[in-house]
Structure 1
Amino acid sequence: MKLQCDVEVVNRMLPTCGLRNKGKSSRAVLSIGRHVDSLCLLICTAKDRSGSKYKLKENIEKFFTWFVEEGKATVRLKEPAVDICLSKADTSSLKSFLSAARLAHTGSDPASLPLSALGPVRARDVEKPRKKLSVLSRKDYPLRSSFPAALEQLQVSYCRLTRVDLRMLALRSLTRLDLSNNHIRKLPASLGDLSGLAELILHNNRLEGFGDALCSSTLQTSLQHLDLSQNQLRVLPARFCQLRHLVKLKLDENQLRRLPFHMGRLSRLRFLSAAHNQLSVLPAGFRKLSLENLDLFGNPFTQANALEHSIRLTFPLTLQELAARAVVDLRIPHGPHLVPVHLCEELSLSEVCECGRACVSASILTAVGLNLHLVAHTVVLVDNMGGTEAPVQKHFCSLQCYCQFMDSCVQRDPR
């Protein structure tokens, strides 16, 4: 039975001699096996690859397993008077190891135990697990060997990857994944299973979409930095704004014709760049953002004109629209278990009129100019003329609300 983890051996007698333990753990391999006529625990480290042996039979005073689910445990021996503190262990392997140690302590039949040969270990077995790895050429890409299981930061660039390697998706400790400068066209839904992923860099690939499944995955609560610049994106899904922990978002040099409908729901977003796309107007929720830096240079924004409008109203309103507005206005709980899925999607895309009431699928849509300094502290110029204003969509729930808005515009600008 072997276990790889961090180990600190604490001598309980040192304080009585006025000494203090070093208090530093080392990477080690622990083995349970037969030595002469007894079962022993062998602890091998990088400094002592031959290892130190400790008798187990009737020699364990206590097990401390309060934090075993975090890969931590302590085995207290009677002789010598030491505490063997284990940490950074695989949870299932640790549980199996402690079970074997308990059986060895009680004197169980050795034939029933998964014993190991007690001997020196290889240097690579006691090396600290690798946390960072950068692969910057195709010839260095690991084809036969696997990625280190403990990786927290992985960069694979300039390797001409056409898809995300499934071996990367098994790295559950990843916090940063950089797959920039490859040929990736599609992201697998299982990428959302990396529950600790905070940074995802996909700069300069050939992505044509960002799947709905990713927006509904654990990335909702983990992802903070997302770089999708220099790809082939035409649109982002409506659910994209469920990634509410995003702080930095880069969308430069794509083919985006519009930004996500409810952009304003990204309340933690502080850095946004979407330069050199095909944006003609910004979504209505854009005015709710509170950014530190904003770059929208090189987009073909149209000239905002409130007189130019699109009417999507029926007179009178349909019963479905009236009911949908009531559900949103009154915040009535709803879901696929109560109403059809397509209605849930319509309700999630509802907008708010100037009067404060909701409009779902029926509204009057126009665009008004927005000084981008109202939503961002630092604004990169929108065009070569030095402008910092861009058109933003505005929705009205009725003809009356639209007329009142137009009257107020005339009063502010009599010309």
Structure 2
Amino acid sequence: MKLQCDVEVVNRMLPTFGMKSRGKGTRAVLSIGKHMDKTAQRQGVFMMICTAKDRAGAKYKLKNNIEKFHTWFVEKGKATVRLKEPAVDICLSKADANSLKNFLSAARLADKGNDASSLPLSTLAPVRARDVEQPKKKLTIMSKKDYPLTSNFPYSLEQLQVSYCKLSRVDMRMLSLKALRKLDLSNNHIKKLPATIGDLSCLTELSLHNNQLEAFSEALCLSTLQQTLQVLDISQNRLRCLPAQFCQLRELVNLKLDDNQLECLPFHIGRLSKLRFLSAANNQLSGLPGDFRKLSLENLDLFGNPFIHANPLDHTMRLTFPLPLQELALRAVANLRIPYGPHLIPAHLCQELEVAKPCECGHICVNYYIETAVSMNLHQVSHTVVLVDNMGGTDAPVQQFFCSLSCYSEFLDLVLQRSVR
């Protein structure tokens, strides 16, 4: 049984002499195995700690020699083993949580004097220099021949780039790297993302540029990425749409959607209040959602989209007279801000309320409305704007909804008055 982690051996007699421990661990390899006990003149089970300065290792007897285990923070890779003789605390940190649990379990069995044949023992031998190096935090792999097939990725990685390796899917070994903050899988052949990417609770940057993605799953949008993800690059893929739940990724600061086949942006994109950099060039956008007005960007690039010419007189009529009872009820729930959820009303009605449309009058419409497009200068939402077309324009069409004929008529009157002026 072996374990790689940081170790500090603290003599409990130090305070007696007015001394303190360093409080800092050293990279080490811990082993549990058989060794000749010179005192008892027979073999016993020992723990050996090897460091860069002492690769031959220091050995500590285990049988009936462990006073206490401190395992409050074992899930974070930390634990302390208190020995009776010598009077030291062996403080472990920066360990893989599962490996640490297995190691402590073996140490407990050895302390109780279990038969050595039932223990997962190792050979107590000096270690190689590379085994006690500081944990690797950054790894870049840029060709298939360098890709690790027989060995695992260092568990301590915080940044991992694997590009030009022709990966067709995300390697599940990457998803066990709990310290990972930046994952770059650009320039591969990945078609689908596993929902377990959302288990990377420290991930702030994810790059999937130039792959073959056809969807971005709802599960990812509802995962822990909601609290951590700040940079997302899914440009140059095959995306046609993004789920409504995409706007739950509210920590996003930089979003790249260029060179896909997107026909629309998420309905509630205005909820991305921290978004500062947005690029969605070379897609199939004919217009922008009305919620786009709520953004406050530093840089915006929408070049190369087939935006329609905004004409308030061109409209889509989705009103019936009288309005169905369900529409009236949904409008009441939205306008009066009545709490709702799948435990109160059917789930499909909750989904309809999630994409309710605001009218110019301040009221809400759901499935029955008048829709048109109005022109908006993109400088209203962004400090810097890349030209929308080759004509030097910075205007784009934005959806506009009306809950009734009277609201639409009032809007047209205002438009006509402005044109006369």
Aligned to 1:172: 178
Aligned to 2:28: 28
- Return the alpha-carbon distance in structure 1 between the equivalents of residues 142 and 129 of structure 2: 27
1:345 to 351, 370, 377: 351
In structure 1, what is the Cα distance between the partners aligned to 2:149 and 2:98? 28
Instruction: Please show how residues 97-136 of structure 1 align to structure 2 within 5 Å.
Output: 97-102=103-108, 104-105=110-111, 114-136=120-142
Aligned residue for 2:100, secondary structure, equals helix
Helix, strand or coil: the match of 1:279? coil
Does 2:166 correspond to 1:160? Answer: yes
> Are the aligned partners of 2:152 and 2:173 in contact in 1 as well (CA < 8 Å)?
yes
Match of 1:290 among 286, 296, 303: 296
1: CA distance, partners of 2:27 / 2:297: 44
2-side partners of 1:41 and 1:137: how far apart?
40
Show the 5 A alignment for 1:69-88.
69-88=75-94
Does the C-alpha gap of structure 1 residues 402 and 159 become closer, same or farther in structure 2, counting only changes over 3 Å? same
C-alpha contact (below 8 Å) 2:229/2:252 kept by paired residues: yes
C-alpha distance in 2, partners of 1:280/1:100? Answer: 63
Q: Which residue of 1 aligns with 2:4?
A: 4
Q: Which amino acid aligns with 2:355?
A: L
Q: Is residue 251 from structure 1 mapped to residue 289 from structure 2 by the alignment?
A: no
User: Which of 366, 371, 376 is the aligned partner of 2:372?
Assistant: 366
Once the 2 structures are TM-superposed, how far is the Cα of residue 108 of structure 1 from its aligned partner? Answer: 6.0
Relative distance call for 1:185 and 1:317 in structure 2 (3 A) is: same
Change (3 A) 1:200 1:385: same
1:217 equivalenced with 2:223 (yes/no): yes
Say if 2:358 and 2:365, in contact at 8 Å, map to a contact too. Answer: yes
The 1:112/1:340 distance shift into structure 2, 3 A limit, reads same
1:124, CA displacement in angstroms? 4.2
Contact 2:96 2:155 in 1 (8 A): no
TM-score normalized by the length of structure 1: 0.90
Offset at residue 81 of structure 1 (A): 3.9
> What is the letter of the counterpart of residue 141 of structure 1?
Y
Counterparts of 1:116 and 1:165, CA distance in 2: 30
The residue that corresponds to 1:50 in the other structure is 56
CA RMSD of aligned residues (A): 2.6
Measure how far apart 1:56 and its partner are.
Answer: 3.8
- Separation (CA, whole Å) in 1 of partners of 2:170 and 2:79: 36
Equivalent of 2:284 in 262, 271, 278: 278
Q: How many residues align?
A: 415
In the alignment, is residue 206 of structure 1 matched against residue 193 of structure 2? no
Q: 1:357 aligns with which of 351, 359, 363?
A: 363
Q: Deviations over 1:381-405 (max 9, x none)?
A: 2233332221111111111111122
CA contact (8 A) 2:31 2:48 kept: yes
Tell me the amino acid that sits aligned with residue 8 of structure 1: E
| Structure 1 residues 136-186: Cα deviation after superposition (integer angstroms, max 9, x where no partner) | 112222233333333322211112223323333343332222111122233
Q: Percent identity?
A: 72
The 2-side partners of 1:155 and 1:14 are apart by 45
- Return the letter of the residue paired with 1:194: L
Shift of residue 66 of structure 1?
3.1
**d(CA) in 1 for partners of 2:46 and 2:185?**
46
TM-score normalised according to structure 2 size: 0.89
Report 1:304-383 matches (<5 A): 304-383=310-389
